[in-house]
Structure 1
């Protein structure tokens, strides 16, 4: 996440930024499976577990949990894999997390065209 994504004090990134990126992941998995992105009918669940800060590197994992005809329930999870240390010795210092924490879960209902 970059400095332009910061919305709150202390460098906290707005949760909507993660959800936007998760929607991009859902679009890509729809294109891969159905050969078109279709459209989102519903956002079924959003859970924010850990705050995300500017400088964090995120990994998004999307999967189809359920499929009926042209409709798909897609779950996307966001994990923080790299963060900036609290007192970095150098401006480019990072901490690679051995056990990346789950930051956000979002479920979308999509329908293929």
Structure 2
């Protein structure tokens, strides 16, 4: 199936906890954006995210890190679309070196995985 990917730099605005730690809910927001694009490509409509059935946070994310969020539709019903998501850290901030230091990671670090269901009402499906 088709895969959608977005890449975002986490900013100090995303940091919610001490030490510039980013709230895990930010990853779910990225997954929501990926799901929206998947539904637009599949059905010509943004649809609605109904529920997550699994969310696992695997590694911390900090302000300055670059996160790549990917997702794909793994099964379909008449109006439901089951999706799987993965967020990976691809660039890590290095504030201990300098305020602007960062490293590209040769091997991305998986920071979150999830699966959930979206719905596009039959009347809204254009494809």
TM over 0.5: same fold?
yes
Match of 2:61 in 1: 52
1:35 paired with 2:44, answer: yes
Gaps of 5+ in 2: 1-9, 122-127
Is residue 95–residue 101 contact of structure 2 (8 Å, CA) maintained in 1? no
Which of the two has greater strand per residue? 2
Match of 1:97 in 2: 105
**Separation in 2 of the partners of 1:4 and 1:38?**
28
Alignment of 1:61-100 (within 5 A): 61-85=70-94, 87-88=96-97, 90-100=98-108
Root-mean-square deviation (CA, aligned residues, Å) is 1.1
Of 92, 107, 110, 2:115 maps to 107
Q: CA deviation at 1:7?
A: 1.1
**Separation in 1 of the partners of 2:111 and 2:56?**
8
**Separation in 2 of the partners of 1:66 and 1:102?**
23
**Separation in 2 of the partners of 1:60 and 1:37?**
18
Is residue 94–residue 100 contact of structure 2 (8 Å, CA) maintained in 1? no
Is residue 20–residue 63 contact of structure 2 (8 Å, CA) maintained in 1? yes
Gaps of 5+ in 1: none
Q: CA deviation at 1:86?
A: 5.0
Q: Normalising by structure 1, what TM-score?
A: 0.93
Q: Normalising by structure 2, what TM-score?
A: 0.83
Alignment of 1:15-34 (within 5 A): 15-34=24-43
